[in-house]
Amino acid sequence: MPKAPPVDRTDPPMSAPRKHSCLPFLIVIVLSAAVTALVFMLMGNIAQHKREAEQVVFKIADVDETTTDPEEWGKNFPRQYDGYKRTVDTERTRWGGSEAFQRVDEDTDWQTLFAGYAFSFDYREDRGHAYMLQDQRETERVHKVKQPGACLHCHASDIPAYRKAGIENGAPGALTDPFNSPDARAQLQKGFEVVCAISYEEATKLVEHPVSCVDCHDPETMHLRVTRPGFINGIRALAESDDPVPHLQSIERWRKGDRIEPYEPNTMATRQEMRSFACGQCHVEYYFKGKGKLLTYPWHNGLKMEQAEKYYDDEGFKDWTHKTAGSPMLKAQHPEFELWSQGIHARAGVSCADCHMPYKREGAIKVSDHHIRSPLLNTARACQVCHNVTEDEILARAETIQDRTRALMVRGQTATLELIDMIVMAKGAGATDDQIAPLQSDHRKAEWRLDYIAAENSMGFHADQEAARILGEAIDYARQGQIKAVKLIAELGSPTPASAGGG
């Protein structure tokens, strides 16, 4: 058997080792180090911005319950104060603005509608918050007609003045007591009663500044709060009523409880509710009650227009007697909170501040814009947060609502003016007071409804269907009154002009 060939077991010659370049490894190391450094720098930057965002106050000035000067607060809150100062700006929307023009000069119908009342000769356009005390001191309504100190309630930073007056009239405690303490509340209510009853000339000497920071913010915690005694009393009366308020969930919860303690917005309301309550302290309907002229919100039956009217009727209240028609009249103030409460935004949980004080970014800090103004002047931040349409479309929708409200308002004015003329004619025809009374009742109802929407500062936007309903009723009552007048004059045997009841 042949032998296998011998196997060569010697190792093959080794090849020379390859030379590898270190450059790629160095590049990777350098890039890794650079990326790591950038990541740490980014993390440091983010951490720094977070610290900046947390620092919402620069502790420079000491502010407390007596600090009514907004400039002092501005030392600690410069961003918010910058916005507050801009409320002096004058910029119009189609149906609103902040110039100090006379409405009764621009639309002379209101001179007749308010005949015999101070608004017939001085009815100025509302200006920004920074002007509110100055404008009140300058209006002819406080110079030609004696007014009570109750007028001061919503035009000045007057809570320390109320509390001081309360202490001087027997209330316990000190002026620096925390606002929610029992002593401070006793001071507030007593002083409120005292100041409402004195003359406006005396009351305005007790204050120096328009509504400012301390009126809406706790000086220790900066939490939102309500301080106006009229609102505190009014919201409690509302809570005790049976009127459904589904947009105010804290009141609904209180109603389901034991009700041992009265409803207290500063401790029971949600933060989102407070973003409307802070505004609703003053943007409301009110009247001066009794001999003490205690400023009172007519919310005892609910927040709707006719519920306030029923309260006034039950109280036998009138603001004035119309000069020519002799009707017992009501003057609406500025019921923004009430009309907003009937609208879609309130039901959707949108607060006043969401639209009129929208959030904005200044560097790393998010703040609520204290340049309080119409959202139509700032639709990007005020409206587009919720509405995914263009700014032009948002403005067009809002102005359509306002244009239609204005058209109804003009019809209401015409109808009410013609009713006034018919009442005067009926008097001239020899109608007795008893015969005229139903016409005067229709006049009171018609003009109250017309003025309710005219005095409210959204031109119907806060609740467009409610505004249309109210103006429709105004026109209806005015026309019903005219029909009654035509029949009465005919019964008295006097001819009526061919145009009577027309228009």
- Binned at pLDDT 50, 70 and 90, residue 484 comes out as very high
CATH T-level topology, domain 394-491: Butyryl-CoA Dehydrogenase, subunit A; domain 3 (1.20.140)
Instruction: Please count the residues of the chain.
Output: 503
What's the average model confidence in pLDDT over 139-167?
92
CA neighbor of 416 nearest in space, from 368, 497, 471 = 471
Tokens linked to 408: 């109804």
Residue 401 Rama label (left phi>0; alpha psi -120 to 50; beta): alpha
Range among 8-12, 84-88, 175-179, 359-363 with highest mean pLDDT value: 175-179
Check residue 61 and give its pLDDT: 87
Contact status, residue 500 vs residue 482, Cβ threshold 8 Å: yes
Domain limits of the chain? Answer: 70-370+378-389, 394-491
Per-residue pLDDT of 44-68, as tens digits, reads 665 555 555 455 556 788 999 999 9
Check residue 503 and give its pLDDT: 40
Range among 16-20, 114-118, 318-322, 375-379 with highest mean pLDDT value: 318-322
Helix 433-455 crosses helix 305-315 at what angle (to 10 degrees)? 140
Contact status, residue 200 vs residue 151, Cβ threshold 8 Å: yes
Containing H/E element for 441?
helix 433-455
pLDDT at 355 over 80: yes
Per-residue pLDDT of 156-176, as tens digits, reads 999 999 999 999 999 999 998
Q: How far apart are alpha carbons 273 and 349 in whole angstroms?
A: 8
Per-residue pLDDT of 205-243, as tens digits, reads 999 999 999 999 999 999 999 999 999 999 999 999 999
- Binned at pLDDT 50, 70 and 90, residue 502 comes out as very low
pLDDT at 116 over 60: yes
Check residue 499 and give its pLDDT: 46
Domain 70-370+378-389: CATH architecture, name and number where available: Orthogonal Bundle (1.10)
Q: How far apart are alpha carbons 428 and 494 in whole angstroms?
A: 9
Check residue 501 and give its pLDDT: 46
Helix 433-455 crosses helix 464-491 at what angle (to 10 degrees)? 160
CA neighbor of 154 nearest in space, from 50, 256, 285 = 285
Task: Decide which of 92 and 271 is more confident.
Answer: 271
Per-residue pLDDT of 17-37, as tens digits, reads 555 567 777 777 878 777 887
CA neighbor of 155 nearest in space, from 169, 171, 136 = 136
Q: How many alpha carbons fall within 13 Å on the CB side of residue 423? A: 27
Range among 91-95, 149-153, 374-378 with highest mean pLDDT value: 149-153
pTM (two decimals): 0.85
Q: What percent of the chain has pLDDT over 70?
A: 88
Per-residue pLDDT of 450-479, as tens digits, reads 999 999 999 999 999 999 999 999 999 999
Check residue 182 and give its pLDDT: 95
Check residue 315 and give its pLDDT: 97
Check residue 323 and give its pLDDT: 97
- Quick one: DSSP state of residue 343? S
Average predicted confidence (pLDDT) for the chain: 88
Contact status, residue 188 vs residue 159, Cβ threshold 8 Å: yes
Residue 460 Rama label (left phi>0; alpha psi -120 to 50; beta): left
- Do domains 70-370+378-389 and 394-491 share one topology? The answer is no
User: 321 exposed, middle or buried (CB, 10 Å; 0-12, 13-18, 19+)?
Assistant: middle
pLDDT at 12 over 60: no
DSSP alpha helix (H) spans, 360-432? 379-382, 391-428
Per-residue pLDDT of 331-345, as tens digits, reads 999 999 999 999 999
Q: How far apart are alpha carbons 302 and 238 in whole angstroms?
A: 6
Among positive and negative, which fits the CA dihedral 369, 372, 377, 382?
positive
Q: How far apart are alpha carbons 286 and 289 in whole angstroms?
A: 9
Q: How far apart are alpha carbons 373 and 379 in whole angstroms?
A: 11
Check residue 246 and give its pLDDT: 96
DSSP sequence for 62-120: ---TT---HHHHHHH-HHHHHHHHGGG-----SS------BHHHHSTHHHHHTTTSGGG
- Binned at pLDDT 50, 70 and 90, residue 94 comes out as low
User: 33 exposed, middle or buried (CB, 10 Å; 0-12, 13-18, 19+)?
Assistant: exposed
Helix (H, G, I), strand (E, B) or coil at 257: coil
Task: Decide which of 107 and 211 is more confident.
Answer: 211
Task: Decide which of 271 and 91 is more confident.
Answer: 271
Q: Which of 86-95, 252-261, 440-449 has the lowest mean pLDDT?
A: 86-95
Distant-in-sequence, close-in-space partners of 336: CB < 8 Å, separation ≥ 6: 279, 280, 283, 284, 352, 456, 457, 458, 462
CA 435 to chain centre: 42
Check residue 120 and give its pLDDT: 76
